[in-house]
Structure 1
Amino acid sequence: MSKRIVIIGATSGIGEELARQARRRGYITGGTGRRVERLRSLKDELGEDFHHVQMDVTRFEEAKKALHDLIQEMGGMDIIVLNAGISNYQASSVTGMEQKVIDVNVSGFVQLFGEAFQYFRKQGHGQIVGVSSIAGLFGSSRAAPYSASKAFISTYMQAYRQRSNKIREDIVVTDVIPGFVESEMTEGKKGMFWVAKTEKAVSQMLDDIEKRKSYSYITRRWRLVAWLIKLTPNWILDRI
C-alpha cells in the first residue's frame, strides 16, 4: 500500500516541489496552503492522488479541522511535513511584523505538531518532519524573529524525539535543516552562497525522510557550516 504524506505549506518553494517528488515516488500526497489557486494548479498537474485543502496555520482550530478533513479524504496519514513558514511580513510596525512571523512559524507549528503527534500515538506509528533552518543556529540582527523561530522548531522537535523514545512510541521526528534554497522566500536576498536548486534540495530531503533520519542537512555541505557555527564562541557571533 502506498504511503500517505501530508505537506503543510505546499504552495511554493520546498513544499510545492516536495509534493511533485512525493507523487513521482508513489506517495498518496496531501497539500495545504492559503493560496487555493496554487493548490488547484498542483491538483491539475499531479492528478487524483494529490489531495488538498486550504489552510491558514494561524487560525488554529480551523487548521486542525482542515488537517483531519484532509487525512480522512486521503484515507490516513503516515508522514506529515510541517513546512509553512515566513521570513517577513508587511505590517505597520516592526513589532507587528515580528509577531506575525512568530504566529506562523512557532504558534502554527506547535498546534499542528501536537495534533499530528496525538494522531500518530493513536495509530501506533508515524513520522513528523519539521523544516527549521541553518539560521536557527545563531541570532541574526537582520532576521531576529525568523532565526529565533527556527531555533525553537529544532529544540521543540528534539524534546519530542526524546519523549517519543521514553514512551517507546514508533514516532520518528525529523529535523530538516536547510541552508539557502531557491524559493520565493530567498529571491532577491543578498549575501547568500551555496544556493541549492529546489529540485536537488528536495530530493535529498525526501531521501532522508525515507531513511527516517533524525536530522537532515540540506544540502549536505551545510552540515560543515553547522559544525563551524556550533564551535564559534558567542562573543564572535555577537559581532557578526
Structure 2
Amino acid sequence: MDRKTCLITGASSGIGESLARLLIKDRWFVVGIARRTEKLEKLKEELGSNFLPITCDVSKSENIKNSSDFLKKQNIIPNLFFLNAGCGEIEDKFHTNIHRKTFETNYFGVINRIEEWIHHNSLATFAVISSLVAMHATPHASAYCASKAALKSCFQSLKSNILTVAQSLSP
C-alpha cells in the first residue's frame, strides 16, 4: 500500500500545525511547508520522522518550484495537499502594494503549488482554505477579502471543469 502523504502549507502555526499533528497521529507522512525554519524544526523535534519540514515562502514562485522539485527528486509524492498558508493585514489606507503582497501569498501561492503538482499526480486531492470574507467582505481588509474571493471563484471553476472532463471520460 502506498504511504499516505500530505503536504501542508502554513504548517508552522494555527490550522496548518494542528492538521499536521492530527495527520501524524493518524499515521500520515506530512511535508510541512512554512517560512519560519525555527518553528518547523521545533515541530520536527516534537513530531518525529513522519514530519518533513521544508522552508518555503509561498509568495515566491521560485520557492514553490524548488520545494516541489526537491520532493519529486526524493520520490515524495503527496496525495493530499492542504493549501493553508495565508496573510492579511488591516488596511488604514488603500495601497496596491498590499493587494500584490496578499495575492502573491493567498492566491498565487495556491495556484502555483497546484500547477507544480496537478499533472504529476492525477489522483491527488487539493484542499484550499478560503474564508467567509470571500462572500461577505469586512471593512479595512479589501486585499484579504479579494484574495479569498478569487480563490473561491477559481476553485468553483476548476471543480466544474474537472467534473466535465470526468463525465466525458465515463462509459
TM-score relative to the length of structure 1 = 0.63
Letter in 2 for 1:82: L
CA distance in 2, matches of 1:70, 1:165: 28
5+ long unaligned stretches in structure 2:
none
Q: Which residue of 2 aligns with 1:166?
A: 164
Compute the displacement of 1:73 (Å).
Answer: 3.7
Q: Could you list the per-position Cα deviations for residues 195-223 of structure 1 after superposition, in whole angstroms to 9, with x for gaps in the alignment?
A: xxxxxxxxxxxxxxxxxxxxxxxxxxxxx
Q: Which residue of 1 aligns with 2:136?
A: 138
RMSD: 2.2
Q: Which residue of 1 aligns with 2:65?
A: 64
Letter in 2 for 1:94: H
Q: Could you list the per-position Cα deviations for residues 157-193 of structure 1 after superposition, in whole angstroms to 9, with x for gaps in the alignment?
A: 1111122222229xxxxxxxxxxxxxxxxxxxxxxxx
Matched, 1:104 2:105: yes
CA distance in 2, matches of 1:93, 1:142: 9
Q: Which residue of 1 aligns with 2:155?
A: 157
Q: Which residue of 2 aligns with 1:174?
A: none
Compute the displacement of 1:43 (Å).
Answer: 0.5
Compute the displacement of 1:132 (Å).
Answer: 0.3
Compute the displacement of 1:107 (Å).
Answer: 1.7
TM-score relative to the length of structure 2 = 0.87
Number of residues paired by the alignment? 165
Other structure's SS at 1:47 match: helix
In percent, how many aligned pairs have the same letter? Answer: 28
Letter in 1 for 2:134: G
CA distance in 2, matches of 1:98, 1:141: 15
CA distance in 1, matches of 2:99, 2:155: 22
Q: Which residue of 2 aligns with 1:37?
A: 38
Q: Which residue of 2 aligns with 1:5?
A: 6
CA distance in 1, matches of 2:124, 2:81: 8
CA distance in 2, matches of 1:115, 1:58: 14
CA distance in 2, matches of 1:102, 1:75: 28
Tell whether the 8 Å contact from 1:11 to 1:32 is kept in structure 2 after alignment. yes
The correspondence for 1:128, drawn from 126, 129, 145, is: 126
Other structure's SS at 1:77 match: coil
Q: How does 1:69-218 map to 2 (within 5 A)?
A: 69-73=70-74, 75-88=76-89, 94-121=95-122, 125-168=123-166
Other structure's SS at 2:126 match: strand
Tell whether the 8 Å contact from 1:28 to 1:74 is kept in structure 2 after alignment. no
